[in-house]
Amino acid sequence: MNRGTDQPHDSLDAVVLPATAQAIIDVALEAVNNDVETLRQKKVVLLGTSVIVGRPATYGFWMLGVEAEMHGSNADPAEVLPSADIVVSATGQTDLISPKWIKDGAILLDVGAPKAEFQAACYEKASFYTPVPGGIGPVTRACLLENVLKKKEW
């Protein structure tokens, strides 16, 4: 069950998350054909605990009823990543993630910029991944505009 509420939500339309955190959730949903029930069957592991990206993205996943773990710099990727269906990397460390820690068919969401946090061979194992540059960044800009519109409506 999620940790934010007693009942999971089917969308985050009534919530304003930081734009990058919202972009991560939107892209994760896109990776599962916008099916919240399918997303709820996935285990999400986020690397990075920033108050603008890691923490609010984890909270957003919890609000949707998704099992999500957030790990900081002291986490051992070899220990926390092999069980992940969706890996979100927001650490700022280039080539941090090795393909030996990625399960076949995983969804890889790279929030790093300007260089990728996943080693290139990881993409061969993925069913879906975001490129760097051009993945989460453009979606973040769209989410920023959505946030402005949500606030205007309130």
CA-closest candidate to residue 86, choices 63, 57, 113, 49: 57
CA-closest candidate to residue 39, choices 11, 71, 80: 11
Residue 124 CA to residue 126 CA, distance in Å, equals 6
Per-residue pLDDT of the chain (154 residues; tens, 9 = 90+): 335 445 677 777 778 999 999 999 999 999 999 999 999 999 999 999 999 999 999 999 999 999 999 999 899 999 999 999 999 999 999 999 999 999 999 999 999 888 999 999 999 999 999 999 999 999 999 999 999 998 877 6
Q: What is the pTM of this model?
A: 0.91
Q: Which structure tokens are listed for 1? A: 């069950």
Residues 6+ apart with CB under 8 A from 145: none
Q: What architecture is domain 19-153?
A: 3-Layer(aba) Sandwich (3.40)
Q: Which residues pair with 108 in a beta bridge?
A: 87, 129
